Structure 1
Amino acid sequence: MTGPETARLGARIRAYRTMRHMTVRALATEAKASASFISQLERGQTSSSIGMLRRIASALGLTVADLFNEEDEIGHRVVRREARPELHTAPGTRKFLISQRPLQNVEVYAAEFDPGSSTGDEPYTHSDSQEILLVIRGQVTLWLGSDGSATAHLLKPGDSVEYRTSVPHRVVNECHETAEVLWIVSPPTTSV
């Protein structure tokens, strides 16, 4: 890579890192690199191996190709319901990515929960972002916290709740109809 190409790559890495509110040290830890290397890379003062770029991209929730995408303005992107990417989830649930890769400032998911289904038997966490759960149809119970200190929130259509993704959480549909929800997460987490 030439000097200008290295500088542009470094600037894109820095932009994605700051969008995700990550420090240089946090990115270095996730990518198994030194903070000084990441800092030099972001300033265009050094180049990187493909293996290291893969680790950096993974830590940012991106692909290596995303790191080389030079489009400054992504513009609007239409996603038809039938074209939503479906993610692997627990039995009786369907989860779809609404926001398109590369994820910029926010990630949005739509999910459907059949009667009696849930996000799983155990609460889970992912990164430390702001998350909003909005019920579109049906009703769900959101459990926040772990085991003995978990709090249940019954949510009906139009209800929403906001929490940190670092708080253990679990969604359950205990009703007799399918429930539909939206999750809005900012900044994007690296769990996708």
Structure 2
Amino acid sequence: DLRDAAAGVPVPEALLGIEKLILEKKPTAIVVGPFRSEALLAAMDIFAKYKMPMLGSIAMSPGSEAKIKKNPEKYKYIFRVSMNVIYWVKLLAGTNATLKNQFGFDKVYIMNQDVAWARGTAGGMAKKVYPKLGMEVVGHDQFPTGFSDFSAALLKAKAKGAGILFTCFDMPESGVLVKQWKSIKVPALIAGFVSPMAGEVAWKTFDG
């Protein structure tokens, strides 16, 4: 475990973990790779140094593709086997278009974790998707990894009449957001990504 997704763990510490894994475990290849985009982008030079094939399936920054295109020979051992933020935003754009066109939702409050993939997703929605759809962004808050009290932002979203809470979180603490949303009775649909809501026990965990 590189612990690169944990609160307070700096990228250099994750890089030490990657290099230690390569030198001590001597894998033929690495599958999944770093969790956090910041760690992946920094680790690309380590994978190149040891000529270690890496099939990344989580970190979503398109910056890795940009580095490969700039120096394909150096980074030829690095592959993405999942979508990046660009395609994630396109998927979310379609969902939000349906919410606007079929159900009349037109006010959005954005809440995202302060990490690369979530900033990129929220920024793409705020600057490109919502203006194109004619949807008003009535507020936008970012939260550091490990943060666990979202009540102030939820109250602002409620006061501003948001019909959609656009969320981007992968940290376990974001489950608190769902419970606070329910207890505060925010009359807005959660539409985005909250990692704890993706599991098979989510329905039971959040009492339906």
When the two structures are superposed, what TM-score results if normalisation uses the length of structure 2?
A: 0.28
Larger RCO (alpha carbons 8 Å, 6+ apart):
1
Name the structure with the higher helix share.
Answer: 2
Of Structure 1 and Structure 2, the greater strand share is in: 1
